[in-house]
Amino acid sequence: MNIHEYQAKELFASYGIPIKAFRLVTEPGQLAQAAQELGGETIVKAQVLTGGRGKAGGVKYAKTAEEAVKYGQDILNLTIKGFPVEKIILTEAADIKKEFYAGFITNRGTRAVTLMLSKAGGMDIEDLAVNSPEEILKIDFFARTGPDEDLYEAALKDIFRTQTHIAQARDILDKLYRLFLEKDCSLTEINPLSIVDDDTLVAIDAKMSFDDNALFRHPEIQALENPEESSQDEKDAREAGLSFVSLDGDIGCIVNGAGLAMATLDLIKLAGGEPANFLDVGGSSNPNKVVSALKIIISNPNVKAILINIFGGITRCDDIAKGLLMAREQIQLDLPLVIRLVGTNQDEGRALLEKAGLQAFDGLSESVEKVVALATSEGGRQ
């Protein structure tokens, strides 16, 4: 889960990480008062769940309250990378002397937490990583132990140079890491972390992402969720207890187990097809989950054919078959369906399906080929 800059800055402030004062604005009518309260020069910033707002015209420097009102109105009318701007902040403008990058990420590649620091802050970190990787200093470490003290000190010295900035950076980074750890983040990032007018370091921007699987431990973070982050089918899936990710293709997938679901997507791609989703009905045996899964999949107008791939262990094939038959009673299912059903109680499951005129396959490859053919042929929904 991602949150807005203003939400991240509130968390930063609660951990003692220095930020500039700001006001959240959702209606143009609130702009004048916000600008007046802050006084002086302000920065008007779109609050959208995507980066690169600056380049998209979503960050503007206002010299006067009148300018702040005008820019605020303009930005509230923008759509940035598909996100309509519904909230903005006005923040005290900083006189920036130097911009750094600082962030902690959960690094799947190195199976560690990685501290990233750069003197080239303010730029797109993804671009920087591709075009000038030597500009980013990285330290991998175990979450429990924290970064190696000598490496950490040397990095801070290399990046921040003077004793006062090194000490300030250390304090900010220690707090940023405590926040990362205590809130189960996958990312906490300050870009830019800037030396400003009075020679202190301030977080000019703030970005945080959280591990969805740990949100149950943090109701206060869960409460920060923004509805625009998930698609409707992702929300429905979460409510139904299904592990679901929306994709761009046209083959709906219902699979039991995350590993088998991943393998199924790979096989569909290999056969020339495009999956419309990842969906894991889980290891439990619950016909209602199959009903929910089918409802979610057919609500996607791109889907032309559906593959159900069940390798029953704890999941019983007869329960899956019951779910399918229940779904056929509750919803109009006019999409071609390819069912692969093997494992626990497969004979009982297949008997149920056959009675209803449905055939189940044994082999995974043949099922995948069949569904790909159906999705690309006249047989699928156009």
Q: Is 54 annotated as a binding residue?
A: yes
Nearest residue to ligand GDP, using CB? Answer: 54
Nearer to ligand GDP, 97 or 355 (CB): 97
State in angstroms the smallest separation of the CB of 207 from ligand GDP.
Answer: 8
Angle at 314 between CA 313 and CA 318, to 5 degrees: 85
Among 52, 241, 282, 343, binds ligand GDP (CB under 6 A): 52
Contacts of 89 (CB under 8 A, 6+ apart): 5, 6, 22, 23, 24, 25, 44, 45, 47
Identify which range of 24-32, 91-99, 314-322, 337-345 contacts ligand GDP by CB under 6 A: 91-99
Nearer to ligand GDP, 122 or 252 (CB): 122
Nearer to ligand GDP, 61 or 142 (CB): 61
Nearer to ligand GDP, 205 or 318 (CB): 205
Residues numbered 180-219 forming contacts with Mn ion, rule: CB under 5 A: 191, 205
State in angstroms the smallest separation of the CB of 96 from ligand GDP.
Answer: 4
d(CA 321, CA 290): 9
Contacts of 190 (CB under 8 A, 6+ apart): 17, 101, 102, 103, 172, 176, 203, 204, 205, 206, 207
Is 152 an annotated catalytic residue? no
State in angstroms the smallest separation of the CB of 199 from ligand GDP.
Answer: 15
Catalytic residue among 71, 101, 152, 177: 101
Q: Is 17 in the site for ligand GDP (CB under 6 A)?
A: no
| DSSP-derived 3-state class of residue 133 | helix
State in angstroms the smallest separation of the CB of 165 from Mn ion.
Answer: 20
d(CA 101, CA 23): 24
Hey, which residues does 255 pair with through a beta bridge? 280, 309
d(CA 240, CA 130): 40
Query: 93 is in the binding site of which of ligand GDP, Mn ion, none (Cβ under 5 to 8 A by kind)?
Result: ligand GDP
Tokens 């010295």 sit at which residue? 157
Q: Is 18 in the site for ligand GDP (CB under 6 A)?
A: no
d(CA 95, CA 195): 8
- For residue 344, CA distances in Å to 273, 285, 332, 354 come to 29, 11, 28, 17
Q: Is 162 annotated as a binding residue?
A: no
Instruction: Tell me the torsion sign for CA atoms 211, 215, 217, 218.
Output: positive
Q: Is 51 in the site for ligand GDP (CB under 6 A)?
A: yes
Q: Is 44 in the site for ligand GDP (CB under 6 A)?
A: no
Among 205, 250, 280, 369, binds ligand GDP (CB under 6 A): 205
d(CA 273, CA 289): 25
**The two three-digit tokens of residue 8, written as one number:** 């991240």
Among 65, 94, 173, 296, binds ligand GDP (CB under 6 A): 94
Q: DSSP per residue over 276-331, as a string?
A: SEEEE--SS--HHHHHHHHHHHHTSTT--EEEEEEEESSS-HHHHHHHHHHHHHHS
User: Beta strand pairing status for 22-25 and 337-343?
Assistant: unpaired
Nearer to ligand GDP, 169 or 204 (CB): 204
Is 101 an annotated catalytic residue? yes
The annotated binding site is made up of 45, 52-54, 94, 99, 191, 205, 256, 313-315
Residues with active-site annotation: 101, 189
Catalog residues that contact Mn ion under the rule CB under 5 A. 191, 205
The annotated binding site for substrate is made up of 256, 313-315
Catalog residues that contact ligand GDP under the rule CB under 6 A. 43, 45, 51-54, 59, 93-94, 96, 99, 122, 191-192, 204-205
